[in-house]
Structure 1
């Protein structure tokens, strides 16, 4: 039987860009992009049997870590399930026959994509909860005082930093923005 698995990704949160060309497959769709509680994936793995084909858009759709990727590949190999990764143009049997250098490159790219996926969705989730992301802003009073000191040309950058707590690079960044 043919199966598909989708879950929200960075550039495809509504999963409409995944598995577009795959026809006549039973598709399992995860409702969230996070690592935990991937019920659809669990149900799918339980459903698969010998000779089945599973299609996923890319590695990140399937796994949230290299360990999970390895575990899933073991299960698929044991159950004789073929998994096709569309973006990578590979299946799980191709991966098993790769040269070491190719395999390391593949795993390095996978790890980078996984971290990016987790970071972006983690930041979005934090923003939804009202958390402020990024570098804290300097107080307006301190900035105005630093600008005045800088404009007076009576102070060195070191003196401005000591008085206001604003570093040279930060001062220049704000000067570029506001002046």
Structure 2
């Protein structure tokens, strides 16, 4: 049986894109998480309990399935012990093919997997911060300091070092404001 596993992400918050891809590949049964959090993944447990000999689990990308490299290895072992296989669309990884992967390919996928997890968690954190009204990125310099730095620069009485010391405005920031 072809089994699809879906977990929301920042890029695909409703899992719609994942469901379309898995449906196209002929998945007959779906397990879909309601959240992207690594905790309380009820559908992952249900899916792992449902897997039987000869089943093929299909996912969009490795980061959909696991939350760390260790977790990924554990899931691969569990899937193998059940006699099932895994097909990952994004990485084009199919454990049912006997050709296998070279060590370099496997290593590349692990590195990409780690990068995807970091990127996903960063995007999720930024999204949650924005929802709470927290401004992200480097804090802006107070406008009065910028105005004071511009006045000091235009007076031709101060060096850039003195302006920076007095206002905290760097040379590049000052020039950026002067160009506006």
TM over 0.5: yes
In structure 2, stretches of 5+ residues that fail to align are none
CA deviation string 1:3-56 (max 9, x = no partner): 101111232222111142133511111121222222211221122122111111
Deviation at 1:74, TM superposition (A): 0.8
Is 1:9 the equivalent of 2:24? no
8 Å contact from structure 1 (residues 34, 118) kept in 2: no
Gaps of 5+ in 1: none
**Pairs aligned (count):** 177
TM-score, normalised via structure 1 length: 0.89
RMSD, aligned α-carbons: 2.0
2:60 is the counterpart of 1:36: no
Distance 1:110 1:41, change over 3 A: same
Quote the Cα distance in structure 1 between the aligned partners of 2:158 and 2:139: 25
Question: 1:94/1:126 Cα in 2 relative to 1: closer, same or farther (>3 Å)?
Answer: farther
- What's the counterpart of residue 152 of structure 1? 155
The structure 1 residue matched to 2:89, chosen from 67, 86, 89, is 86
SS at match of 1:103: helix
Distance 1:120 1:24 in 2: 29
CA contact (8 A) 2:4 2:27 kept: no
Mark the CA change 1:165 to 1:96 in structure 2 (over 3 Å): closer, same or farther: farther
Q: Distance in 2 between matches of 1:35 and 1:145?
A: 49
Evaluate the alpha carbon distance shift between residue 115 and residue 152 of structure 1 in structure 2; reply closer, same or farther with a 3 A threshold.
same
- The whole-number CA distance in structure 1 between the counterparts of 2:150 and 2:97 is 61
Equivalent in the alignment of 2:137: 134
Identify the residue that residue 102 of structure 2 maps to in structure 1.
99
Distance in 2 separating the partners of 1:45 and 1:95: 23
Between the aligned partners of 1:33 and 1:150, the Cα distance in structure 2 is 51
Structure 2 CA distance for aligned equivalents of residues 81 and 154 of structure 1: 76
Corresponding position: 1:108 with 2:111: yes
